Structure 1
Amino acid sequence: MSRVWEVPVHDSTRVRDARIAAREACAAAGFAPARTAAGELVATELATNLLKHAGGGLMVVNLVRPPDGAGTAVQLFSLDHGPGIADVDAALGDGYSTAAAGSLGAGLGSCLRRADAFRLYSRPGRGTVTAARIDPEPGGRGAATAEPPAGGITVALGQAGQCGDAWAWARSGRLLTLLLADGLGHGPKAAHASAAAVAELDRAAGLPPAELLRRLHTALRPTRGAAVVVAQVDPDRAEIALAGVGNAGARVRTGDSWTSCLSHPGIVGAYFPAHVPVHRLPWRRDSLLVAHSDGLPSRWTPPEDPSLLAHDPSVVAAAILRDAGSPARPVRDDTSVAVLAPDRRTSPYDSRL
């Protein structure tokens, strides 16, 4: 799932570009025409809202795993640093608009209806983040399956079509394992390495993190290699175990404090260390894991807003990516952020606590 689409939206011509990006993503996911139409509509509404209400922003389209783990879903993000939304509940209702006269005011409400999952986080004066997921089947298997407590966002260096970063989650019994891989370099060969790591996760998700990394090392030998972080939650032990090799990082929040879990030097698939340290930390209802590639600025600040921390992980990841960069400080590498959290969603669209 290394294919990514990134569309800066600063004038009306980019609304069409956002719609085309959604269409291409739906085609890559193998969607039927009706599903593609839903993706195009949501992308058009989100991009239009960026122009009308935020003075512009960024659309990002990723291919992700749906809740039931079968097939491929399309995730559409919109990120802005605009004025924010004072009343989210009102904004999600049809007929509401803060734009000029003549607006139908149906944008966000339409997204809420057409997307299989719609998440929105907004704060006055800080901007808005939305995440809309279109599943392969409307109201099908994905809708009947509990949402996984994992989410993420990926962007490519220079808005390239392929990204060397990838993240994924998989279950094995009651264990939930999250992987983030940063293929060495950029482009198709880096994407091949990270995709190989994701494929191996599906075959070995039940292995402890250090053993999984060793297995990944064997699987990635035919590739150029990758930096990899693995995190595994064991709900029976109320514990999260983390291990990593290469220049990727992770932080775990418990209570009011963050613990940084540094990866061990090396390259999975090329130079594997003799010993891989494993970090074990308590995993509670207030815990949160943020894993990221080195495309995220080294001095990024973990979020502290309680309302954001209680959101769907995909929104948390997108907000971290948005707040870590700016037009004056663009990303200098492929960048991915993946978040793991206890399943504690608060409303159908996660607008606020």
Structure 2
Amino acid sequence: MPRVWDVPVRDWTRVHDARVAAEGAAALAGLDERRTAAAALVATELATNLLKHAEGGRLLAEVVPAPAPPQERGQSRVVQLAAIDHGPGIGDVPSALRDGFSTTGSLGAGLGTCRRLADGFALHSTPGRGTVAVARMGVTPHGGDAVPGAWGGAPEPGTSPLLPGEGPGEGRAPGSVSGPGGERLTHDPAERHGGRGERFVPFAGVRAGGLNIPYGGAEQSGDAWAWARAGDAVTLMLADGLGHGPEAARASSAAVTALHLCAHLSPADALRRLHDALKGTRGAAVSLARLDLGTGRLRFAGIGNVGARLRTGGTWRHLLARPGIVGVHRPTTLREEEADWTGDPLLVLHTDGLPSRWAPPPGAGLPAADPAVTAAVTIRDASSPARPVRDDTAVAVLTPTPPELP
């Protein structure tokens, strides 16, 4: 069942709690002692930064599907550490990622340490609105037995990778781009495969990520996201178990298990299979999106109140689900929506823990540099310290693979 460590970092005593959370997630993922220590150090640095630079925030630790497309059998999983704050933001992200940079008189090794130790690291900051940092830790560290093209290649030692068209000395971090409103985005291309030692089969074109926050600091969330592959198609699912707590988590976990058995089906047919699999549970709201990378067509179907928004060509479209509860009451007919996966596409699935009137920001909208960062920014901007989420809250995101990643 979805286990999430949600650590509110409001004073220095919680830095230790963040470290313990990372160690718990590492144990659940099966990381060895060395990688567990690395995860603990990353969590410590992220929590310390929350206090130093944002007067606090929250750190989330969980075991999630890897961002690279899964193999047709099995699912590689990684430890994900996400730090979210509503602080002043970072005006110069590339500088903040360099060792020795500090605005508080410290050694300035925090974000640089996170970037070196993590198998994947991404940062998004908007001055005046806050910062999101996401680190992923798998079994294999940098320089280990990774598969080129799966999560991206690491730069050669002593080099400073640049984006296409950039010359040396321009001081731009790998994958750093400008987002809407002038914020700085960065994606570290030095990402590796993780999980329990499985090797990814390179499968270019799409990435997925998500964030899950249990209601009231509970250990388990009734929401769960997953994705599965069948041939040249991938299916992204988000399930919201009825209510919250262990029984809701049992329902959403049953949906995750069933997804891997029916990834070859259309969204409507897969929902029928999930309905049978969830009988005997509380039931869940479920949305499914299946992308055929060969044709570039996305098909969607949903039952219940899991929201879905698709951006294509700079325009957002609401994908509609049917009323009902998977496992309890399924509509007689299930309508599928179809769309082309073109024009800088971005798919966001979200549970009803977000405010009911949540909508993506206008224009280019959410950052797409890293799907988990996109999910975290969505939750951050839909809530505030004075207006926390009101239920289990999960966001799952599907994005194209960035150009700098093979």
1:206 maps to amino acid: H
Q: Using a 3 Å threshold, how does the CA distance of structure 1 residues 161 and 168 change in structure 2: closer, same or farther?
A: same
| More displaced stretch, 136-145 vs 307-316 | 136-145
Higher share of residues assigned helix: 1
Instruction: Measure, in 1, the Cα distance between the counterparts of 2:390 and 2:260.
Output: 30
Instruction: Name the structure 2 match of 1:74.
Output: 79
Contact in 2 for aligned 1:250/1:290 (Cα 8 Å): yes
Instruction: Measure, in 2, the Cα distance between the counterparts of 1:126 and 1:34.
Output: 35
| Alignment equivalent of 2:391, drawn from 328, 333, 342 | 333
> What per-residue deviation string (whole Å, max 9, x for no partner) do you get for residues 235-290 of structure 1?
22221111000121101111121111121111111111101111111111411110
Instruction: Measure, in 1, the Cα distance between the counterparts of 2:63 and 2:338.
Output: 31
Contact in 1 for aligned 2:314/2:343 (Cα 8 Å): no
1:324 maps to amino acid: A
| Alignment equivalent of 2:134, drawn from 114, 131, 136 | 131
Instruction: Measure, in 2, the Cα distance between the counterparts of 1:298 and 1:319.
Output: 17
Instruction: Name the structure 1 match of 2:317.
Output: 259
Any idea what SS the aligned residue of 1:341 has?
Answer: strand
Contact in 1 for aligned 2:214/2:391 (Cα 8 Å): yes
| More displaced stretch, 203-212 vs 295-304 | 295-304
1:229 paired to 2:287: yes
Quote how far apart the aligned CAs of 1:113 are: 0.5
| Alignment equivalent of 1:112, drawn from 115, 127, 138 | 115
2:124 maps to amino acid: Y
Instruction: Measure, in 2, the Cα distance between the counterparts of 1:202 and 1:145.
Output: 24
> What per-residue deviation string (whole Å, max 9, x for no partner) do you get for residues 327-351 of structure 1?
2211111110001111125589xxx
Instruction: Name the structure 1 match of 2:7.
Output: 7
1:211 maps to amino acid: D
> What per-residue deviation string (whole Å, max 9, x for no partner) do you get for residues 37-73 of structure 1?
0110000000000111111111111210224744431
Instruction: Measure, in 2, the Cα distance between the counterparts of 1:241 and 1:181.
Output: 17
| Alignment equivalent of 2:150, drawn from 146, 149, 157 | 146
How many matched pairs?
346
1:205 paired to 2:257: no
Any idea what SS the aligned residue of 1:203 has?
Answer: coil
Quote how far apart the aligned CAs of 1:300 are: 1.4
Contact in 2 for aligned 1:175/1:232 (Cα 8 Å): yes
Quote how far apart the aligned CAs of 1:129 are: 0.6
Any idea what SS the aligned residue of 1:262 has?
Answer: coil
List alignment gaps of at least 5 residues for structure 2: 152-205
Quote how far apart the aligned CAs of 1:144 are: 3.9
- Give the share of equivalent positions with the same residue, in percent: 56
Q: Using a 3 Å threshold, how does the CA distance of structure 1 residues 346 and 129 change in structure 2: closer, same or farther?
A: farther
1:287 paired to 2:292: no
Instruction: Measure, in 2, the Cα distance between the counterparts of 1:192 and 1:310.
Output: 31
1:87 paired to 2:95: no
Contact in 1 for aligned 2:69/2:208 (Cα 8 Å): no
1:49 paired to 2:49: yes
Quote how far apart the aligned CAs of 1:77 are: 0.4
Q: Using a 3 Å threshold, how does the CA distance of structure 1 residues 133 and 307 change in structure 2: closer, same or farther?
A: farther
List alignment gaps of at least 5 residues for structure 1: 349-353
Any idea what SS the aligned residue of 2:372 has?
Answer: helix
Q: Using a 3 Å threshold, how does the CA distance of structure 1 residues 76 and 9 change in structure 2: closer, same or farther?
A: same
Instruction: Measure, in 2, the Cα distance between the counterparts of 1:68 and 1:233.
Output: 12
Any idea what SS the aligned residue of 1:177 has?
Answer: strand
Contact in 1 for aligned 2:69/2:234 (Cα 8 Å): no
Instruction: Measure, in 1, the Cα distance between the counterparts of 2:147 and 2:388.
Output: 36
2:37 maps to amino acid: A
CA RMSD of aligned residues (A): 1.8
Contact in 1 for aligned 2:345/2:400 (Cα 8 Å): yes
Instruction: Name the structure 1 match of 2:197.
Output: none
Q: What TM-score comes out, normalization by structure 2 length?
A: 0.82
Any idea what SS the aligned residue of 2:319 has?
Answer: strand
Quote how far apart the aligned CAs of 1:182 are: 0.5
Any idea what SS the aligned residue of 1:295 has?
Answer: coil
Instruction: Measure, in 2, the Cα distance between the counterparts of 1:142 and 1:290.
Output: 29
Q: What TM-score comes out, normalization by structure 1 length?
A: 0.93
Instruction: Name the structure 2 match of 1:174.
Output: 232
